[in-house]
Amino acid sequence: MLDIGPIHRTEYELGEDRSEPVCIAEAPGRIHFMGEHGENGAGLFLSSAVDRTIRVSVSVRKDNSIRFFAADLGERKRTTLVNLKYKREDRWANYIKLAIHVFAELGYPVKGLNFTVSGNIPQQIGLASSTAIEVAAAAALKGYYKAAIQEKELIRRLVKAQADFFGKESSPVDYLVAFSARKNHFLVVDELNLEVKRIKSPLSRYRFLLTDSRVPRLGVEEELKQRRLDTRKGLEILSRKREGASFREFASGDLLDSMGSFPEEIRRRSLHVVEELRRVNETAEALKKAEYGEISRIVYSSHESLRDLYEVSCPEIDWLVKRAQETEGTLGSRMTGMGFGGCTYTILKENAEKEYRRRLEDYERIFGFHPLVHEIRLAAGARLVPDEA
């Protein structure tokens, strides 16, 4: 990744005659290994940060202009505090503006600011690159102003700013991962209680590969909206519309006993949500005990549930998972992300990678898309980066 300290100084002509310090922060992308497509607002996730990051640098200007430079793209944007609002054409800069909005509301002396952003998180494959920009910008501003704000309060304000800026509700989960992650650790993230538990990875002898199916995704939001409505109806049936009820209150057996009156689609969606909650907890225990066979069983079971019950997979993704499963030395493979295309993750031994990649050669011939494979590692969370200038 680019060293943006010198680039920042060159872009904004900060030299020895200028005293403005440059504060640089870095935030990671993230992957959900399990728990996506759960209960909205009360999910339970098995996640980690990944070793692909966004860096944001900030310095103060002498005027009231706020300027942004994307070093990788060579793009420049600008605004002022008075005009600090979402603009579609500002694309990546909107996520930095969101962080500025948070610190302005906190009462910090936000006037003229320079920002430079650079990163190596692959785009549009579900690694939360936009959240990484927000978190890196927020961490840089926090470091610059030496703000004493606690992480949970900062996350709360970032979630609120999402609603203010983009007009939509957002989950705190990606922020929790970005701030809480540790190198070589899995995270169990509880969206309901905003709690994070870390589990030291027992998979040091395995590699993590993210395979992008390259399948175009059309109409995904509408499909996912319908599934969320189905699960909400399922919870209403189970809880008899009791306010504040959650799927966590219902064990799998209870659901099976109660679903005779369920419409079939609602039954399938609800069953996936309840069983996925159980799988997250079971995988956490298996990781703690290094029970590799159990980890493998649960990962494949989770993919089958996404395919058959929640129905967000597709033939291309299922093919990738099947080929991984057939490769000797593979611990597990599963879709990750919104579904209907997107990516799989595969956990396999180092000596199995060559064979796995060889099997992918048939994918383009069969489906017409060229898959992209990214190796990822479980990484640390957001941090300040020393400015070596």
Return the active site residues.
174
Would you report the helix, strand and coil content of the chain in percent, each value rounded to 5? Answer: 45, 25, 35
Q: Which residue do the tokens 């703000």 mark?
A: 147
The rounded Cα 159 to chain-centroid distance in angstroms is: 14
* Closest CA relative to residue 128, chosen from 32, 262, 10: 32
Quickly list DSSP for 99-114. Answer: HHHHHHHTT----SEE
- State the Cα–Cα distance between residues 149 and 153, nearest whole angstrom: 7
Q: Are 32 and 47 in contact (CB under 8 A)?
A: yes
Q: At what angle do helices 292-308 and 264-289 cross, to 10 degrees?
A: 160
- 293 CB-contact burial (10 Å; exposed 0-12 / middle 13-18 / buried 19+): exposed
- Other Cβ atoms less than 10 A from the Cβ of 357: the count is 14
- Sign of the C-alpha dihedral, residues 87, 336, 305, 285? negative
Q: Is 86 strand, coil or helix?
A: coil
Q: State how far the Cα of 285 lies from the Cα of 288, in Å rounded to an integer.
A: 5
Question: What does the CA dihedral 299, 304, 307, 313 come to, rounded to 10 degrees?
Answer: 30
Question: Residue 56 corresponds to which tokens in the numbers above?
Answer: 């944001």
At 332 the three-state DSSP class reads: strand
CB-CB contact of 114 with 58 (8 Å): yes
What's CA 49's distance to the chain center, in Å? 8
Query: Rounded distance, CA 297 to CA 295, Å?
Result: 6
* 143 CB burial (10 A radius; 0-12, 13-18, 19+): middle
Question: What's the start-to-end Cα distance of the chain, in Å?
Answer: 17
d(CA 341, CA 338): 8
